[in-house]
Structure 1
């Protein structure tokens, strides 16, 4: 599975902007004007890096799903 078959989202209500996801997958997650993480287009990191970013988020603000099946993925 390539990263392009992943549906990635960041819940702005949960994100505290600590940048752990950006450290783990800096070519996928970028900072918005409020200092929170958002998904850049297109997400350029590999699946493993993206899933590491999910696990690094201290507030579980990132959701990654298989774009074909809708299944939520975890590291």
Structure 2
């Protein structure tokens, strides 16, 4: 993909399902309160991280392009 992404988890929405950590274990972790957080605020674009965002049952994960801020997920409609 070649891009860098800024990854955020809205912890007020996160229900701790662990789907993100299962789909992208290098990209997401659950903390002691079973809340997800990205391993790093920025990461190389990856299919696994995108799949994790798409699989979140409450759409708590947002991905934007570093620099431009253009949304990757959820996409602007």
Structure (1/2) with the larger strand percentage:
2
Structure (1/2) with the larger helix percentage:
1
TM-score above 0.5: yes
**TM-score computed with the length of structure 1 as normaliser:** 0.84
SS of 1:15's equivalent in the other structure is coil
Aligned to 2:10: 11
Q: Kindly report the root-mean-square deviation, in angstroms, between the aligned alpha carbons of the 2 structures.
A: 2.0
**TM-score computed with the length of structure 2 as normaliser:** 0.82
Aligned to 1:57: 56
Correspondence 1:15-30 to 2 at 5 A: 15-30=14-29
- Distance in 2 separating the partners of 1:74 and 1:65: 7
Runs (4+) of structure 1 exceeding 4 A deviation are 42-46
Please, which runs of 5 or more residues in structure 2 have no aligned partner? none
